[in-house]
Amino acid sequence: MKRLNPEKTAAFRFDRGPVGCLLTHGFTGSPFEMRELGEYLAGKGLTVLCKPLPGHGTTAEDMSRTNWYDWYRACVINLAELSSRCEKVFLCGMSMGGTLSLHLAAHYASQYKVAGVAAYAAALYLKNPLLPLLPILKRFIRFKPPSESDVADPVARANQESYGTVPLECVSSLLDLCAHVKNDLQDVTAPVLLIQSKKDNTVPPPNALLIHRLLGTSDKTLIEVERSYHVVTVDYDKELVKERTFEFIKRIEKLS
């Protein structure tokens, strides 16, 4: 099976100031899609950590041996590591990474000094006419062809690293995660920034409105963009994503 470029998909860490940012990539993604955001935040004096989730950044066969419990457990470990070095931590997640970040905030905000969450195109549900057949299909088909890259910018699209196939069992686990987190959003009391593209072809844009409505916090902001597709951290609106994320952190922590 296709193995991704380890130089692109490797973990990264920038040790800067006392405020930390845990960056989490999306389903079948890698730290590569969070790298520019991480470098930008580090340039603003923030400590940044981003690691590949289990089964990600290598091969689809590796991913097939993991599920959302593995991905979430890794996020908890990463959060604990960053929290041990920082006074406050912000959770910044792309797509499934945003869903995982919201889940972390619901359960570990006090223990690990979570000050806020920035979720980009986070999912609570997906739409596909074949999804109702998934419990049957995954018994006979282990892998499916990947969806077309959901990046509008052709240069960014060409730079993306992605698996040649996607494990159906992992798709099923992703749906379980989304359903689980939907019931936890009322327990998210930290401030939340949501950024969602109106042209997202992977996560239906109304997801952001649903998340916004279900959040337990009163400090919640939804920003909708129109130039990008799904992966807003690398697409046409990436500069806005960087700026709005730092403004969000700066407002909460009263940074200069």
| pLDDT tens, residue by residue, 205-222 | 999 999 999 999 999 999
Burial code (b: 16+ CB inside 10 Å, e: under 16) for 78-99 equals bbebbbeebebbbbbbbbbbbb
Mean pLDDT score, 156-178: 94
All residues at 6 or more sequence positions from 118 whose CB lies less than 8 Å from its CB, including other chains: 90, 91, 92, 93, 98, 101, 192, 193, 195, 245, 248, 249
* 90 is a domain residue: yes
What CATH number is given to the structural domain containing 95? 3.40.50.1820
Average pLDDT for 158-180: 94
Mean pLDDT across the chain: 95
The residue segments making up the domain with residue 78 are 6-253
pLDDT band at 13 (very low <50, low <70, confident <90, very high): very high
Give pLDDT, residue 33.
Answer: 97
CA distances from 204 to 83, 94, 131 (A): 33, 14, 14
Strands (E) located in the chain? 12-14, 19-24, 47-50, 88-94, 114-120, 143-144, 166-167, 192-197, 220-225
Task: Determine how many CB atoms are found less than 10 A away from the CB of residue 49.
Answer: 23
Identify the band that residue 135 occupies on the pLDDT scale cut at 50, 70 and 90. confident
Active site residue 187: no
- Under DSSP, is residue 92 helix (H, G, I), strand (E, B) or coil? strand
Q: Provide mean pLDDT across the span 239-251.
A: 98
The predicted model gives 189-199 an average pLDDT of 98
Q: Does a structural domain hold residue 28?
A: yes
Residue 1 pLDDT:
64
Residue 256 has pLDDT above 60, yes or no: no
Catalytic residue among 25, 56, 103, 230: 230
What pTM was estimated for this model as a whole?
A: 0.96
| Residue 134 near residue 171 (C-beta atoms within 8 A) | yes
Active site residue 95: yes
- What pLDDT band is residue 145 in, cutting at 50, 70 and 90? confident
16 within 8 A of 48, measured Cβ to Cβ: yes
- Does some domain include residue 1? no
- Catalytic option among 150, 200, 235, 237: 200
CA–CA distance, 249 with 256 (Å, rounded to integer): 11
Catalytic residue among 83, 95, 101, 197: 95
Count of domains forming the chain: 1
Bridge-based pairing of strands 192-197 and 220-225 is parallel
The pLDDT tens digits of the residues spanning 30-44 come to: 999 999 999 999 999
> What pLDDT was estimated at residue 164?
86
Per-residue model confidence (pLDDT) at position 146: 80
Q: Is 200 a catalytic residue?
A: yes
Banded pLDDT at 236 (limits 50, 70, 90) = very high
Say what the pLDDT of residue 129 is. Answer: 78
- pLDDT tens per residue across span 74-118: 999 999 999 999 999 999 999 999 999 999 999 999 999 999 999
End-to-end alpha-carbon separation of the chain, Å? 48
